[in-house]
Amino acid sequence: MTYGYSALALLGFLSFSTGAYAQSPGDDPVTLDRIRVQATRLIGVGDFDTPASVHTVSLGDDGNGDAVDVSDALGSVPGLLARDRQNYAQDTQLSIRGFGARSTFGVRGVRLFSDGIPASMPDGQGQLSHFNVLGGERIEIMRGPFSALYGNSSGGVVQLWSAEGKEGDPWRVRATAGGDDAYTLGAQLRGAHGDLGYNLAASRFDTQGYRDHSAARRDSLNARFDFRIDPSRKLTLVLNHVDLPDADDPLGLTRAQYQADPRQAAAVATQFDTRKSVRQSQGGLTYEQQVGNAQTWRVMAYAGRRVVEQFLALPVAAQANPLNAGGVIDLASDYGGADLRWSWQGELASKPFELTAGADFDQQDQQRRGYENFIGTTLGVRGALRRNESNRVRNVDRFAQAWWRFAPRWSLLAGARHSEVEFTARDRYVAAGNPDDSGEVRFRETTPVAGLMFEPGEDLRFYVSAGRGFETPTFNELGYRADGGAGLAFDLQPAISRNVELGMKWRGEGDTRLEAALFRADTDDELAVVRNVGGRSSFRNVARARRQGLETSFETALSDQWRLQLAYTWLDATFRSAYLVCTGAGCTVPSTPVAAGSRIPGVARQQLFGRLQWRGSVWSAAAEGEGVGDVVVNDVASESAPGYFLLHLEAAREWKLPSGSLRAFARIDNALDHGYIGSVIVNEGNGRFYEPGPGRTFLVGAQWQWSR
C-alpha cells in the first residue's frame, strides 16, 4: 500500500470507525491550561496568546505502553519526527521541521531540556536516553522562529518536566511484557510532607531486540524535590541517573540485506561485537523568588558526568593510517552550567507588559580517547591507544524578551539572544605521521526574533513571527577534515537560518482545538557530509538550504466518551544551491555534483497522525494511525526509504479497590504487520542506510496505584 492510499485509509477509518481506540505510551497529548507552559519563558501569558507553535504532551498515569521511549509520546506533534531506531546503542532519531534529520546518533539541531536542565551540550549535540518518561508529567515542544531564544542549534525545543509532588498523590508500580523478550518494571512515589514535595521514579527496561545483535538494558532513576520556603520562595532539586551497559548495535542494512531478512544484523556487527555503554549522572538546583507582585527571580545551576564506551566495526586495514583514531571510542564528559533570569510584569503606556532578561553559561569538558578495536587476530576488544585529547566547549549567552499588549486586540513579543560558543582541543597523542592537532575556534552570533498576534475574537488568534537562528558544528563534526589531513576542521562555520511563520489558533466548544502554521527557514552555510572514509564522516559548509511547509493539528471531544485527534505535516526540504561531494572509496577531493533543488536526506515530505479514543466507566480503547512519507538517504539521492502507514490498537480495564486501583492494558503495534524502514542512517559510507522497524508487536501490562 502506498503512502498516499494509506493516508486516505487512515482518514476514512477515523471518520467512520465504531471500534475501540485508547492511549499511546505517553498518554493522550493535550494542552494543559492549569500548568504554565515554560517553553515560551513567559509568566503571565499562556501559549494560546503566544505568536509561536507550542504543543504540550501530557504524560499521565494511564498510558498503555512501556513508558520507555520518549518518541512514543510525540507522534501527535506536527512538524516533529521521532524515529524509534530499534537500536538502543544510537538513541532516538529526532528532527523538527527537518532540523536534526542528518544526525547519525543522538540528537543535534534541536535543543533538549529535562526539568530545566540542558540535555544538549553547548555544541548542540544531545541525548534523549536519560529522559525518564515514567516520572514525567509533560513534554513541551516549541517550533519555529522563537526557538532561537534558546541559543545554538535551536531548530526546535523539547522539554520534559516532572510533576511537583502534592499531598494525596498516589504511588504506583508498573510492569509490562512484550515481543522480543522485552519487559519493563518501574515505580513512582509522589507526594508531599509539609512544605516538601517529592517525585521519585525508577525503572528497568530489558529487551533482546527486534533484530539480531540488538539486546539492551536500561536502568533509569529520576528524583525531584520541591521545597516551599515561604509563599514567595521555592527551591527545586533534581537528580537523574541512567545506566545503559553494553547495548548491542546491529548497524544499518543495505537494501538487499533488508529485503532478504530485516531482522538480521550487519555481518561486521557480530564480527566486531559492536556495542555501546553509557552511564550518566547529573543534578540541578533551581531557586525561584517572587518580589512583590511584579518581579520574579530564577537561578539554576547544574552539573553532571557522562561516560561512553563504544566499539565500532572499523576495518583493521583502515587503522593502518597513522591519522586514524581507532575503532573504540572512550569518552568521558564533565559538564555543568548556570542560568540567571529576571522577569517583570507591569504596564507600558498603560498597557500590559512583561519583560524577561537573563544570562546563562554552559561548559563541557571531554576526555576523548580512541583505541584500536583488535589485539592480534581478536576483534571487538580494546587495543592500542590511537587518540588522546582534551576538548572543551562552552557558551556564554545573554538574552532578553518582552511581551506587550499595545492595543485591545494586538500584542507583540520580541527578543534577542547573543551567543558566544568556544571550542578548544588539546592533542595529547603526538606520534610519527600524526602531528599535534591542537587548536581552538570561537563563534559569535546575535539572534533576534519578533512576533505579532491579532485577536479577532475570544477564541481565535492569528500571528506572524520572524527570526534568525544559528547552528554551530558539533565536536563530532569538527573531528575530521574534509581533505583527509591531520587536525580538526576548524574552518567550518555556523549555519545561519532566517525563519518566518504565519499561523492561527482556534478554540471551540467541547475542548475543540485547531492550529495551523505556514513556515519557511532559509539557511546559509548548511552543514553536510562531503566525505565518508573508513567509518569517519567529514563535513563542509556546502550550500544554501530551504525548509518550508505546513503544519496543522485538530482535536475535539466527539462526545463524553469519544475523542478525536488529527495532525498533518507537509515539509519541503531542499538544497538551494549545487555543491560537490565524495562518493568513491578513498575520495579526498569532492567531485560528484549534488544539484540545486535536491532533497535534504532524512526528511519526510509528509506525516500524518490520527487517534480515535473511547473511554467508558471501567474500559477504554483506542486506535491510532501514523503515516510517514518516503525519505532519501544520501545527498545524491541514489536511494530512498519508502513511506509507510502503521495502525496501532489499545485496550485497558480498570478496577477500583478500597485502597487504590488496578489497571490492566494491552497494545498491538503495527497491527497490520506492515514491513517498513523505521529510520535511516544518512550518508552511511558503506551503503547500510536502513534500520528496519518491527512487525506486529504485542504488549501487555499492569499498574497498581494506591493512596497512603
Q: Tens digit of pLDDT for each residue in 227-259?
A: 999 999 999 999 999 999 999 999 999 999 999
Q: Counting Cβ atoms within 10 Å, is residue 12 exposed (0-12), middle (13-18) or buried (19+)?
A: exposed
pLDDT score recorded for residue 586: 62
> Which backbone phi and psi does 605 adopt, to 5 degrees?
-75, -30
Average pLDDT over residues 122-144: 88
Superfamily of domain 3-190+217-706: TonB-dependent receptor, beta-barrel domain (2.40.170.20)
Whether pLDDT at 583 is above 80: no
Whole-number Å distance between alpha carbons of 618 and 652 = 8
Between 258 and 17, whose confidence is greater? Answer: 258
Query: Across the strands, what pairs with 585?
Result: none
pLDDT band at 417 (very low <50, low <70, confident <90, very high): very high
Whether pLDDT at 275 is above 80: yes
What does pLDDT average to over the chain?
88
pLDDT score recorded for residue 31: 36
Contact 502/518 with Cβ under 8 angstroms?
yes
Sequence-distant (6+) residues with CB within 8 A of 230 are none
Whether pLDDT at 32 is above 60: no
Domains of the chain, by residue range, sit at 3-190+217-706
Integer CA distances (angstroms), 35 to 38, 111, 522, in order: 9, 21, 34
Whole-number Å distance between alpha carbons of 342 and 400 = 9
Whether pLDDT at 20 is above 60: no
* pTM for the model: 0.89
pLDDT band at 533 (very low <50, low <70, confident <90, very high): low
Average pLDDT over residues 386-397: 93
Helices (H), 223-335: 255-260, 267-271
> Which backbone phi and psi does 43 adopt, to 5 degrees?
-95, -45
pLDDT score recorded for residue 35: 53
Contact 321/431 with Cβ under 8 angstroms?
no
Cell of 66: 512501556
